[in-house]
Structure 1
Amino acid sequence: MSVWALGLNHTTAPLDLRGRFAFALDQIAPTLQSLRSSFPSSRHPQVEAAIISTCNRTEIYCASEHIALDHTFGWLAESGGVAPTLLRSHAYTLHDDEAARHVFRVASGLDSMVLGEAQILGQMKDAVRAAENVGALGTTLNQLFQRSFAVAKEVRTATEIGAHSISMAAAAVRLAGQLFEDLRKTRVLFVGAGEMIDLAVTHFAAKEPKSIAIANRTLERGEKLATRFGGEAMRLADLPARLAEFDIVVSCTASTLPIIGLGAVERALKARKHRPIFMVDLAVPRDIEPEVKALEDVYLYTVDDLAHVVQQGQANRQAAVAQAEVIIDAGVQSFMHWLGQRSTVPLIQQLNAQADEWRAAEMARARKLLAKGESVDAVLEAMSRGLTQKMMHGAMAELHSGDAAAREQTAQTISRLFLRKER
């Protein structure tokens, strides 16, 4: 059994290219079905697959008897509507121990934009559940991910990898504080109501802004989040008309197209008499049109723009990284040992089936002899001799066939298997 991975992340691909391959959680199931059905059934009858898709990465993990990296690569390029040559220049491919090491590092927060961040672990668990729900996760990938979760837990328990890390939300607050002298005088709008926005609201609310508003496509979900922080909820459709009210706008939705356009921001600036707006687009694909960044009174930051802020203090955690790598090395070795053992499972199953067949045949023969009135001792003797002959037949035949070198090798193998001394 082989494992392979294909992906692109914040270190290998620009934001807009990553956006072409971003899958919302509710898209994972049909996407996995499309991927698995694309493999030729003759060579890859039961391909296991899982997809991890976040604002910083999209990765495909597969397992099968034969590695099919080229096929997976072609499928991903087609799904994103890009040329394979473009994707190849920004993607990475891994297999077996390299794939295991990578997924362990991802789960442990070592491959994140925010070193040591814990959010990726929850996103990976969501991805695994999505794969399980559509029957795409078999024994091999299940083992890989469960072991990655265990390694991540050990890394966070045994090291200080998460100490002093700065989240994307905290970085946004820090940058906003550089633009506005007093955040308590600002009005903050959050667009979306998912996990990232929840985290962002928590960080901004701690600064006690003048007001908080949540704009979301589903008003009920927006109201639930707004209520927790004493804010108001508004419909997403009302956003263009009310954009001018807010000094800070933080957006992160699952929309495949921008929801805040250049025209809406220009009108808001005019209504604000060109008082500045601080905007953070945490979505991939983008929620805010990139042209907005060129406006004189707008300070727009994307997830990639925040990278240098969240990486501050990374040097102070290098000792923890080294400790984490040791734990990951041990995890990789353990997984590869397990994967190697899996290759013998079909042979073990065949041996057990053959032994059961021999046993059943001898039991049937013994019952017939007993029915004919044979003594129990004679029947047991015959049954044990029959079983022994069946078990030894193959080994004896091999010892008498082939050339001298082959017979010598067979003799050594048989001695090791049948003549082991009890310890």
Structure 2
Amino acid sequence: MQLVAVGLNHTTAPVALRERLAFGPDQIGQAVQAARQWFARIEPRGNDESAILSTCNRTEMYAASEVPNALDAAAHFLADFHKVNPSELRPHLYLLPQHEAVRHAFRVASGLDSMVLGEPQILGQMKDAVRVAEEYGGLGTYLHQLFQRSFSVAKEVRSTTEIGAASVSMAAAAVRLAERIFDTIREQHVLFIGAGEMIELCATHFGAQLPKSVTVANRTMERGEALARRFDGRAIRLADLPNELHKFDIVVSCTASSLPLIGLGLVERAIKARRHKPMFMVDLAVPRDIEAEVGRLNDVFLYTVDDLGKVVQSGIESRRAAVAQAEAIIETRVQSFMHWVDDRAVVPLIRDLHDTSEALRLHELERARKLLARGEDPEAVLEALSRGLTAKFLHGPQQALHHAKGDERARLASLLPQLFRGRR
């Protein structure tokens, strides 16, 4: 069984490609099932496992498969599912086998592979991905163990290092950028589009600056109203954006929409209605909520998730010691996990040895019982039983040694004493 991780992230691919490879929340379960079917067509006798992690910064597939070239199979699945040319996708993919896949999973869960070093949100996103994979039949022994250990490693890293102590979140970075555009956020009207975890975090950071007003636009009014109430704001429907957008100085968007919610024409009309008063816009969604062409407008300051990532890198130097400590923890846990994987590989062999030994034992025991039933001396029966067991257990190794030649015989001769060295 091969463990693999295949995907792309903010360091290997631009947002334009990441959004093409992103899975919507309603697609992931279907994709997990499709991935298993994809592997099964290549190796029908396999018992493949798969899980998919898709965030604004990464799309990754983790798999445990008996397919001979599982890495290529996984890469082609991602391309096929999203109808992307494999040759276009391949230069941006990382293809990680066995221990490299395990190390990557541990680093992702611990926040070491994030755009914001040490950020905690990825752990929750990973747990959600695992929950969906389990619900749709994607998890088996290998991936279940991989992810449970990933969560354990993440907890150890966060509790024993300072990896997240100085973490600057995307939300905090957005506030810092807004403060470069406006003298004070207290005088600005802020619109949040969406009501998910990232928007909640952004609303908390901007809310701490006491803006003039807070509005939440969401597809579901009930959820939008619940978030708006926390900041003494109001909620509107997404359908109201064409009539409302011009009222806002700051717009932060992060939804799961597969298509842009805010187009160039809509923003042009809003800027005209604002009499060209500047508008600060942050698009944290992948795929993007705001058309990229909006960034070319003179009075609009549009930042994507990648732009904010550059801002948050400024504190990375001070965390090098924490990173080194975290990497050391991860490396130790990788070795432990791979030892478990190696042990799993010999489980069938050990089971066969037990079954064979048990059959031999029962056969000799039955002979001994028959001898005792005929009135044979118990001491002689026990002697015969022990000799019979010894002879049968040694028959296979003796035959193998007898028929082996050259290097093979030398190898067996060195191994057999270790295999039969028991406690006395």
* Cα distance change on mapping 1:366 and 1:223 into 2, 3 Å: farther
The answer (yes or no) to whether the contact 1:167–1:310 under 8 Å persists in 2 is: yes
- How far does residue 53 in structure 1 lie from its aligned partner after superposition? 0.7
- How far does residue 2 in structure 1 lie from its aligned partner after superposition? 2.0
The answer (yes or no) to whether the contact 2:33–2:137 under 8 Å persists in 1 is: no
Rounded Cα–Cα distance in structure 1 between residues aligned with 2:175 and 2:43: 54
Post-superposition Cα deviations, 1:332-372, rounded to whole Å, max 9, x if no partner, equal 22222222222211101111121222233344445555555
- How far does residue 29 in structure 1 lie from its aligned partner after superposition? 1.0
Post-superposition Cα deviations, 1:308-342, rounded to whole Å, max 9, x if no partner, equal 21111111111111111211221222222222222
Post-superposition Cα deviations, 1:120-145, rounded to whole Å, max 9, x if no partner, equal 11111111111111221122222222
Rounded Cα–Cα distance in structure 2 between residues aligned with 1:258 and 1:407: 69
* Cα distance change on mapping 1:316 and 1:42 into 2, 3 Å: closer
Rounded Cα–Cα distance in structure 1 between residues aligned with 2:141 and 2:46: 15
Partner letter of residue 36 of structure 2?
R
Q: In the alignment, is residue 252 of structure 1 matched against residue 254 of structure 2?
A: yes
Unaligned runs of 5+ in 2: none
For residues 125-204 of structure 1, what are the structure 2 equivalents within 5 Å? 125-204=127-206
- Report how many aligned residue pairs link the two structures: 422
* Cα distance change on mapping 1:116 and 1:405 into 2, 3 Å: closer
Identity rate of aligned residues, in percent?
Answer: 61
Post-superposition Cα deviations, 1:86-137, rounded to whole Å, max 9, x if no partner, equal 1012111111122222222211211111011111111111111111112211
Partner letter of residue 62 of structure 1?
A
The answer (yes or no) to whether the contact 1:362–1:387 under 8 Å persists in 2 is: yes
Q: In the alignment, is residue 26 of structure 1 matched against residue 22 of structure 2?
A: no
Rounded Cα–Cα distance in structure 1 between residues aligned with 2:132 and 2:108: 18
Q: Give the equivalent residue in structure 1 for 2:37.
A: 37
- How far does residue 382 in structure 1 lie from its aligned partner after superposition? 4.5
Partner letter of residue 59 of structure 2?
T
Q: Give the equivalent residue in structure 2 for 1:271.
A: 273
Q: Give the equivalent residue in structure 2 for 1:393.
A: 395
- How far does residue 413 in structure 1 lie from its aligned partner after superposition? 2.5
Post-superposition Cα deviations, 1:253-286, rounded to whole Å, max 9, x if no partner, equal 0000001111211121122122111111100001
Rounded Cα–Cα distance in structure 2 between residues aligned with 1:367 and 1:272: 100
* Cα distance change on mapping 1:308 and 1:363 into 2, 3 Å: same
Unaligned runs of 5+ in 1: none
* Cα distance change on mapping 1:44 and 1:272 into 2, 3 Å: farther
Q: Give the equivalent residue in structure 1 for 2:312.
A: 310
Q: Give the equivalent residue in structure 2 for 1:326.
A: 328
Q: Give the equivalent residue in structure 2 for 1:60.
A: 61
* 2:214 pairs with one of 208, 212, 215: 212
Q: TM-score, normalised by structure 1?
A: 0.94
The answer (yes or no) to whether the contact 1:44–1:64 under 8 Å persists in 2 is: no
Rounded Cα–Cα distance in structure 1 between residues aligned with 2:375 and 2:171: 85
* 2:361 pairs with one of 341, 359, 362: 359
